[in-house]
Amino acid sequence: MNKKIGFIGAGNVTKTVISGLVEHFEGINQQIYITNRSRMKGEELRDLYKVHLLDSNEDLAQICDIIFLSVKPDIYPKVLPAIQPYINDEKLLISVAAGTQIEDVQQYFNEPKKIIRIMPNIAVTVSEGMIAMCCSPQITRLDLDIAMALLKSIGRVDLVDEYMLDAVTCVSGCSPAFIALFIEAMADASVLQGMPREKAYQYAAQTLIGTGKLILEKNIHPGPLKDLVTSPGGATIEGIYVLERKGFRSIVMEAMEACDKKLKAMARK
């Protein structure tokens, strides 16, 4: 990988992606450049991963071949006009802003540019992330291969149609918070039953990982998997009965629906 990679914005997404890249590509930190509105936050990221911190987005746009637009959607109108003169037909823009479509980025340029829109989740920091990707028509096979090579080092990459991105954001980007809440609740219950908290978290988290791997690697549907551990008259079915009675599925679906509505509202601003 001999491309210079830039990140405009030094928030959680940038930190997540850089940490994965640094772990999997030896020496890639020397090719990574970042900018951030808060100099102090940029310096923290620079010192942590030994990357380059630049003074302006314009400097970054001139230097870098691949540019991650890692700022919130409401910052795009400030960032994109400033870097527009430096984005030629060879540079690759990667947008990570939730709810911001490829056409929303394209409108800042007089001619169509190479744009990839991605939605990574926080699990890329442990190389178990799920990254959805969609592309503008200007993206070549080589561009796609380069982006895939970078992103596959930090998780699974799935090329999708852009209309799916909001749903992907809900199920992949937002849901780690829901899952963490579920793990915490299970651990609290285990502590109530006498288990030390450290072990409670360990058992709950590892069970979640194992269940996910069963579904993915064994191609087991969640329904039959549930049935495998639900014996007639047993403890598991008692727990499922309580979850169903309390509306567990509908609560999860309503939470996802709330995320989707918020994403669409953000996109309209």
SS3 for 128-174 is: CEEEEEEECCCCCHHHHHHHHHHHHCCEEEEECCHHHHHHHHHHHHH
Q: Which of 137, 160, 183 corresponds to the end of one domain? A: 160
User: Do 99 and 210 share a domain, yes or no?
Assistant: no
Q: Which amino acid is at 172?
A: S
CB 154 within 8 Å of CB 20: yes
Residue 185: which pLDDT band, with cuts at 50, 70 and 90? very high
pLDDT of residue 146: 93
% of the chain at pLDDT higher than 70: 99
Mean of the per-residue pLDDT values for the chain?
Answer: 93
Torsion, Cα 222 227 230 232, to 10 degrees, reads 160
pLDDT in tens, 21-34: 898 899 999 999 99
Q: What is the pTM of this model?
A: 0.82
Q: Region 216-229: what's the mean pLDDT?
A: 94
Q: Which of 136, 160, 184 corresponds to the end of one domain? A: 160
Residue 269: which pLDDT band, with cuts at 50, 70 and 90? low
Q: Cα(260)–Cα(264) distance, rounded to whole angstroms?
A: 6
Q: What does DSSP assign to residue 55?
A: S
Contacts of 243 (CB under 8 A, 6+ apart): 249
User: Do 90 and 178 share a domain, yes or no?
Assistant: no
The CATH number assigned to the domain holding 72 equals 3.40.50.720
Q: Which domain holds residue 156?
A: 5-160
The CATH number assigned to the domain holding 197 equals 1.10.3730.10
pLDDT of residue 253: 96
User: Do 230 and 100 share a domain, yes or no?
Assistant: no
User: Do 82 and 213 share a domain, yes or no?
Assistant: no
User: Do 152 and 173 share a domain, yes or no?
Assistant: no
Q: Region 11-28: what's the mean pLDDT?
A: 88
Q: Which of 106, 126, 160 corresponds to the end of one domain? A: 160
User: Do 155 and 196 share a domain, yes or no?
Assistant: no
pLDDT in tens, 85-136: 999 999 999 999 877 899 999 999 999 999 999 988 888 878 788 999 999 9
> Based on the structure, what is the number of domains in the chain?
2
pLDDT of residue 66: 97
pLDDT in tens, 129-171: 899 999 999 999 999 999 999 998 888 999 999 999 888 889 9
Say how many CA atoms lie within 13 Å of 48 toward its Cβ: 16
Q: Region 184-191: what's the mean pLDDT?
A: 97
* Helical axes 248-268 vs 235-245, angle rounded to 10°: 50
pLDDT of residue 177: 94
